Amino acid sequence: MDLAYMAALPKQEFIERRTTLFERLGDNFAAIIFSASEQTRSNDTAYPFRQDSYFWYLTGFNEPDSVLVLTRQNGQNQTALFLRPNDPEMETWNGRRLGVENAPATLNVDYAFSIETLKDELPALLANVEQIYHLQDLREHNDTLMLALLPPSAKLTNLRPHLDEMRLFKSPNEIRLMQQAGQISALGHIRAMRETRPNRFEYEIESEILHEFNRFGARYPSYNSIVAGGENACILHYTENDQPLKDGDLVLIDAGCEFAMYAGDITRTFPVNGKFSQPQREIYEIVLAAQKRALELLVVGNNIQQANDEVVRIKVEGLVRLGILQGDVDELIANNAHREFYMHGLGHWLGLDVHDVGSYSNATENGDRNSKKRDRTLEVGMVLTVEPGLYISPKSNVPEQYKGIGVRIEDNILITEYGNKNLTCAVPKEIEDIERLMAER
């Protein structure tokens, strides 16, 4: 299916982002943003190139070895781009380049230079500025280069908090792309449910998911897919995906596509044979109830911590009911007894990165960069995942029928003025709906 007409942002969006950044940073400054570089896979072969998200956010330019320089002096904005020059021989081997001559008109920048002249041209662009902004602690090579080129009179400041705050709030055009990423990711999970059966290997189901992503214009996953059968689901970042799926086990699939640079991120857990056993059903229903309650709470004015506190209570009450935990619910919560079975957070920001940027804490916004709280007030335009889970290790001291069961249910939501919008609700998660879909095989 050709979705190319949807797979791009208008050029004006990148211009507006740069304009917003100019206004945020004040006057008499330079901001320097490096692109990603190609990464060696082995010997002389490279991994598929994926542009740095910050660089893409401000340029929409998908070539390696480039540098964006924004300067503002006396209220005058100037945008310069360093990039690879045209090279017919290299382009024959490795693909087309935009080239210096085409860059200003194509990317709406004021000036373009060959990347080979960076060390010669950059000092002139930085002359007389008081403040230089740079994405610190992102890549060591870039940090070293910035220190070498820094004028003695300029102060080096981290650009990341400014861009992180901008990226946290999605524009209508970004939301359009993220809706599509969510929908394509959902189609991959639906295909997985239809194609799963005992004795197929985890990697076979992974291939079904990737096939569906590709069919709808999402060439790559947004992260390494997890297809975890049985007790493998109790390994949070399991990616080996090399085991056969066993009759009577659950399979946990955490997979999302990347569409036009924006990530989807869905998890579903379902029975390999299409029917939940009673113990599986009991654990699953606890997680589902927790997720539904979280979805009710994650709205404008609330925060992730509030929702997670409710999720923890629902889980502890459920685990006590099943005899997996023993004791008073309040005391168990106070002692973090649930951490043996629920050891991660409720969710994370989503956008150009699957674990997207932006502060989770109101304290961080007020200057406390060390705050670990997730109490930031939710606002319109934020996008986040909601992914409660329970993981009962085979080694846990629990009733035998629950050992080795891992369940996670994850959706992607957009915070709106009317509540939240679930971008990934196309994938079934009610037990009856899952069993019905799998019966259609």
Candidate list 344, 365, 375, 435, residue with the active-site label: 344
Q: Is 348 a catalytic residue?
A: yes
Q: Catalytic residue at 141?
A: no
Q: Is 387 among the residues known to form the active site?
A: yes
Q: Of 237, 321, 339, 441, which residue is the catalytic one?
A: 237
355 counts as catalytic: yes
Q: Is 436 a catalytic residue?
A: no
> Which residue out of 212, 254, 258, 411 is catalytically annotated?
254
Cα(100)–Cα(82) distance, rounded to whole angstroms? 8
The active-site residue out of 72, 189, 348, 374 is 348
265 is catalytic: yes
Given the residues 219, 281, 355, 441, select the one marked as catalytic. 355
Whether residue 344 lies in the annotated active site = yes
Query: Which position has the token pair 């920048």?
Result: 109
Annotated catalytic residue, options 164, 208, 258, 265: 265
Rounded Cα distance, 381 and 417, in Å: 9
Instruction: Exactly one of 133, 284, 391, 402 is catalytic; name it.
Output: 391
Active site residue 139: no
CA–CA separation, 111 and 353 (whole Å): 29
| The one catalytic residue among 206, 387, 402, 411 | 387
Q: Find the catalytic residue in 167, 374, 376, 408.
A: 408
Q: Which of 63, 249, 410, 411 is catalytic?
A: 410
Mark whether 410 is an active-site residue: yes
Which one, of 348, 9, 385, lies nearest residue 182 by Cα? 385
Catalytic residue, chosen from 2, 44, 89, 140, is 44
DSSP string over 232-283: GGGSTT-----SBPPTT-EEEEEE-EEETTEE--EEEEEETTS---HHHHHH
One-letter amino acid of 24: R
| Residues belonging to the chain | 441
Q: CA dist 135 to 79, 95, 157, 414, Å?
A: 17, 29, 8, 27
Is 254 a residue of the active site? Answer: yes
Told to judge if 338 belongs to the known catalytic residues of this protein, a careful annotator would answer no
The Cβ of residue 102 has, within 10 Å, a number of other Cβ atoms equal to 13
- Active-site amino acid positions: 44, 237, 254, 265, 344, 348, 355, 387, 391, 408, 410
